[in-house]
Amino acid sequence: MSRGILFVVSAPAGCGKDSILEKALSKDINLTYSVSATTRTMRAGETEGISYYFKSREEFEKMIKDGELLEHTEYCGNYYGTPKQTVEEILADGKNVVLKIEIEGAGNVKKMLPEAVLIFILPPSMEELSRRLHKRGTEDEETIQKRLKQAETEISCAHSYDYVIVNGDLDAAVNDFVSIIKAEGFRAERNAELISGLNK
Amino acid sequence: MSRGILFVVSAPAGCGKDSILEKALSKDINLTYSVSATTRTMRAGETEGISYYFKSREEFEKMIKDGELLEHTEYCGNYYGTPKQTVEEILADGKNVVLKIEIEGAGNVKKMLPEAVLIFILPPSMEELSRRLHKRGTEDEETIQKRLKQAETEISCAHSYDYVIVNGDLDAAVNDFVSIIKAEGFRAERNAELISGLNK
């Protein structure tokens, strides 16, 4: 059985990465979501162990110290990190894994695992992103402005990703995402055994 | 308008590259087929300017001399080559181009245009390939055996392609092919203007 592929998805807040992932995970593309750990506050509608593993700063710093994280980063004053063992087990089991992590964390994963595939989700425009952040109504104006500023900085890092998708229409963006997951499975370097097997 | 992407498809005889291409070209993936030139004999059902540009050896050698070919190669005693200007015009027009060329020619295209995307189509097994070659009944047994031997050599070159697809079920192979065409359009390096445009 061949090893699964590690996908990393990043997007500025309000670009719909959660919606895209939720829909993509229901498709027949052998994809498993690996839950991140964070010290940020749980939001309405979030669930421990599904949205994130919610940790105290002390707990999180112990995970760092014990080498239990594939990567970790501090973002807007909170820690975010990827539990290493879970990812490794899913990949070894031949399943594709998707991580949802911030720019710096994504870069760190790519450094440690260059075969990881990085996907960045873009908004159709900054105006539309602003509209969506206001519409979701979970943050005050100051936080929204901070997030828009942050989004600009993040988007300038999209060049260093492998792929970019524009989330204008959700279903179209999900299809685009699925094409990438499928296509990466056809990479020749991931099918060396298949090729050799025909020349036995 | 961004430049189109150049795709190159290779496959041993009998792997169904013509059927895959025909179906893929009817999909909404902005893909245009660029007809090759060859000195091989026209087969039943083939049409000048659609299947190939059929040339005499003298005509073909003049095209080589005049630098009119992106690549050319000699295969099973015949010349095959890709007219340069046609490909360039289609790409400049923002359309994706697909070329159907043999291993050596594909390698030459990749050397000249490293951004070209190479796709190799594999048979499900050598037994199935043999069955298909016999079934199509266009060649005598000696030619079929020569093609099977040739197929083994060709398949050993699939490692150097970007992608490999197995043509077991035609519709599935077409879908796989379409995923690759779509996904390559989302490559970050091909969307630099889109990314920069969001940060104006």
Q: What is the pLDDT of residue B136?
A: 81
Helix (H, G, I), strand (E, B) or coil at B129: helix
Choose from B15, B191, B193, B196 for mutation: most chain A CBs within 10 A: B191
Contact at CB, B198 and A164, closer than 8 angstroms: no
pTM of the model: 0.90
Q: What is the pLDDT of residue B73?
A: 87
φ, ψ dihedrals at B85, nearest 5°: -65, -40
B42-64 pLDDT, tens digit each: 999 999 999 899 999 999 999 99
Measured CA distances, A128 to A124, A149, B61, B157, B199 (Å): 7, 14, 57, 47, 14
A60-116 pLDDT, tens digit each: 999 999 999 999 988 789 999 999 999 999 999 999 999 998 898 899 999 989 999
ipTM of the complex: 0.90
Q: What is the mean pLDDT of each run of 10 residues along chain A (200 residues)?
A: 92 93 95 94 93 95 95 89 92 95 90 95 95 87 92 95 97 97 97 89
Choose from B128, B179, B196 for mutation: most chain A CBs within 10 A: B179
B95-154 pLDDT, tens digit each: 999 999 889 889 999 998 999 999 999 999 999 999 999 998 778 999 999 999 999 999
Amino acid occupying residue B92: A
Q: Which helix (H) or strand (E) holds B76?
A: none
Dist. CA B19–CA B24, nearest whole Å: 9
- Cβ contacts of residue B59 below 8 Å, gap of 6+? none
Percentage of chain A with pLDDT > 70?
99
B157-181 pLDDT, tens digit each: 999 999 999 999 999 999 999 999 9
**Largest Cα span, chain A:** 65
In chain B, residues with a C-beta closer than 8 Å to the C-beta of A155 are 195, 198-199
